C-alpha cells in the first residue's frame, strides 16, 4: 500500500467518526475531509510529486483552525474506558495523517 492509500484509509476513519459523532459545528471539517478524499482520488492516477503532498499538507492543516476543528474534536461517553476506546481510532488516524504530511 502506498502513502496515498494509507492516507486515504485514515481520512475515511476520521470522516466516519466525525459524521457519526460530530455536530453541525464540524461541517467545515467534514466538507474538507471529503475534498481531501476527492483530491487523493484525482491525483492517484497521475504523477505523485512533492507538490501533491504539499497541497495535501495544506488541506490537512485547514482541519486544525485555532479554535474548534479536528484538534478539539473528541467523542464523549460517560464511562472513561468506553470514551478512550471510542476515541482511539480517531486519535490514531489524526496522528497518522499529521505525522505523515508534516514529517
The overall average pLDDT reported for the chain is 95
Largest CA distance in the chain: 47
CB neighbourhood size of 73 (10 A): 21
User: Cβ neighbours of residue 87 under 8 Å, at least 6 residues apart?
Assistant: 74, 75
Quick: pLDDT tens for 16-31. Answer: 999 999 999 999 999 9
pLDDT of residue 103: 83
pLDDT value at residue 1: 66
Domain count, the chain: 1
Structural domain span for residue 89? 3-101
What's the chain's Rg over C-alpha atoms?
A: 14
For 4, residues 6+ apart whose C-beta sits below 8 A from its C-beta are 40, 43, 44, 48
Grid coordinates belonging to 8: 486515504
Residue-wise pLDDT tens digits, 82-98 = 999 999 999 999 999 99
36 half-sphere exposure, CB direction, 13 A CA radius: 30
Q: What is the CATH number of the domain that holds 34?
A: 1.20.120
Amino acid at each position: 500500500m502506498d502513502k496515498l492509500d494509507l492516507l486515504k484509509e485514515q481520512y475515511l476513519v476520521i470522516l466516519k467518526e466525525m459524521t457519526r459523532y460530530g455536530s453541525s459545528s464540524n461541517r467545515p471539517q467534514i466538507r474538507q475531509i471529503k475534498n481531501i478524499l476527492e483530491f487523493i482520488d484525482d491525483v492517484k492516477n497521475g504523477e505523485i510529486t512533492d507538490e501533491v503532498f504539499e497541497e495535501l499538507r495544506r488541506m490537512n492543516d485547514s482541519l486544525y483552525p485555532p479554535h474548534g476543528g479536528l484538534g478539539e474534536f473528541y467523542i464523549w461517553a460517560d464511562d472513561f474506558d468506553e470514551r478512550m476506546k471510542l476515541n482511539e481510532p480517531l486519535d490514531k488516524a489524526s496522528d497518522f495523517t499529521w505525522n505523515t504530511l508534516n514529517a
